[in-house]
Copies of this chain bind each other. A is one copy, B any other.
Amino acid sequence: MKSGQNMNATTPDTGDLAVEGGITPLQAVPFRLANGAELAEVNVGWQAYGALNEDRSNVILLCHALTGDQYAAAPHPITGKPGWWDDLVGSGKIFDTDRFYVICLNVLGSCLGTTGPRDANPATNDPYGLDFPVLTIGDMVRVQAAFLEQIGIDQIFCVVGGSMGGMQVLEWTTSFPERVFSAIPIATAARHSAQNIAFHEVGRQAIMADPNWQGGAYYNTGKRPDAGLSVARMAAHITYLSETGLHVKFGRELQDRDAITYGFDADFQIESYLRYQGSTFVDRFDANSYLYITRAMDYFDIAADHGGVLANAWRDTQTRFCVISFTSDWLFPTSESRDVVRALNAAGADVSFVEIESDKGHDSFLLDVPEFHDILQGFLAASAQRRGV
């Protein structure tokens, strides 16, 4: 399933959870991107759980993070692991599939079914590689909007996501405000910071420094820049955790040994853990997709798209917002969420803001943080009542 091209409507083993999805050609082609390029063909990899109600008012759109995918509540087709929000999506769960139609789309530029640099360029029949156009978070969201329209959905009850998913949430509320009843941007920002760009640049340089990357044209060579991609993932993974969390989880504990070995093996558990994160990542992700998606995040800057005034992005918005951050998240710190909340308030938006105590760092939105789950539940319940779902 590496290329994703052979996937079709699938019914993975998700117990009693009704699932539909697959890879569907976008009808709104050629698709014009922010940089002016046009994609003659666009496929969309997607999954949906639950059933649409009669007036199609029960849609929850989940937006995934940088290396996430549409398998929010179904086993991952490559790793076999449970979906990234398996704990939250399902019958009787917070995103209750008995009540809501929960849908998640692989973002443009990724590699789990939606068109990206690994796919064939219709003009040449060879994989795009670096001929794939550099895209933006706005492009990702416009593909999502076009796809949802195509399947008959023009209203979203709630759009929700963390990290880059949160960027998409913010983009949705400013690009398509009339389609979004409520929005939950989590652990995110209205623009990528210098430090965040810096970490992404390290990851990209690690990939590009790998001779197997071959200028991005590695697909049919039998070689992949696994070493570079693995280093990129290791560096990024540190930023997803907190210093305290790492201390609590690993400290200076040794890995399967009683004493340091005076060598360069993984003496410490944290080293072993990081190496594992790097080495498994390369089996499920494409290096060029990593380049393109990190670049899209770097370019994200809502204020810049609105005359430099963030509040202008949300003038007259009717969307209900719940902005969530985590105390130990130093990649997308609370100050970034505060900037969003301040702008939403300045725009007169209906916004609540919660900073949640957690030592789990940026990844808190993917982990078992009960207060976070309570907040989601409460906001969804109040929004559903207001909307009459």
The contact sample of 20 A-B pairs, CB cut-off 8 A, is A130-B264, A192-B252, A193-B247, A193-B252, A195-B238, A195-B241, A195-B246, A197-B268, A198-B234, A202-B231, A202-B238, A205-B278, A206-B231, A209-B227, A209-B230, A235-B235, A243-B333, A262-B299, A268-B298, A330-B330
Give A226 Cβ to nearest chain B Cβ, in Å: 9
CB of A274 within 8 A of chain B? yes
Q: Within residues 217 to 267 of chain A, which ones have a CB less than 8 A from any CB in chain B?
A: 227-228, 230-231, 234-235, 238, 241, 243, 246-247, 249-252, 260, 262-264, 266-267
How many copies are assembled? 2
Q: Within residues 174 to 204 of chain A, which ones have a CB less than 8 A from any CB in chain B?
A: 191-195, 197-199, 201-202, 204
B247–A228 contact, CB under 8 A?
Answer: no
Known: A202-B238, A234-B205. A197 touches B262 (CB 8 A): no
Interface centre among A134, A194, A264, A267 (most CB of B within 10 A): A194
CB of A295 within 8 A of chain B? yes
A positions within 8 Å CB-CB of B? 34-35, 130, 133-134, 191-195, 197-199, 201-202, 204-206, 208-211, 227-228, 230-231, 234-235, 238, 241, 243, 246-247, 249-252, 260, 262-264, 266-268, 270-271, 274-275, 278, 291, 295, 298-299, 301, 304, 330, 333
A278 cross-chain contacts in B, Cβ below 8 A:
205
The distance in angstroms between the C-alpha atoms of A238 and B298, with both chains bound, is 16
A263 cross-chain contacts in B, Cβ below 8 A:
134
The distance in angstroms between the C-alpha atoms of A260 and B36, with both chains bound, is 13
Which residue of B194, B209, B267 is within 8 Å of A246 (Cβ)?
A: B194
A202 cross-chain contacts in B, Cβ below 8 A:
231, 234-235, 238, 274
Q: List 7 extra interface pairs beyond A252-B301, A264-B295, CB under 8 A.
A: A34-B262, A197-B270, A201-B271, A202-B231, A205-B278, A206-B231, A243-B333
A238 to B, closest residue via Cβ: B198
A199 cross-chain contacts in B, Cβ below 8 A:
235, 238
A192 cross-chain contacts in B, Cβ below 8 A:
252
A333 cross-chain contacts in B, Cβ below 8 A:
243
A247–B209 contact, CB under 8 A?
Answer: no
The distance in angstroms between the C-alpha atoms of A270 and B199, with both chains bound, is 10
A292 to B, closest residue via Cβ: B264
A270–B201 contact, CB under 8 A?
Answer: yes
A274 cross-chain contacts in B, Cβ below 8 A:
198, 201-202
A216 to B, closest residue via Cβ: B264
Which residue of B191, B209, B247, B291 is within 8 Å of A231 (Cβ)?
A: B209
Give A8 Cβ to nearest chain B Cβ, in Å: 33
Which residue of B191, B209, B268 is within 8 Å of A210 (Cβ)?
A: B209
A299–B260 contact, CB under 8 A?
Answer: yes
A191 cross-chain contacts in B, Cβ below 8 A:
252
A249 to B, closest residue via Cβ: B194
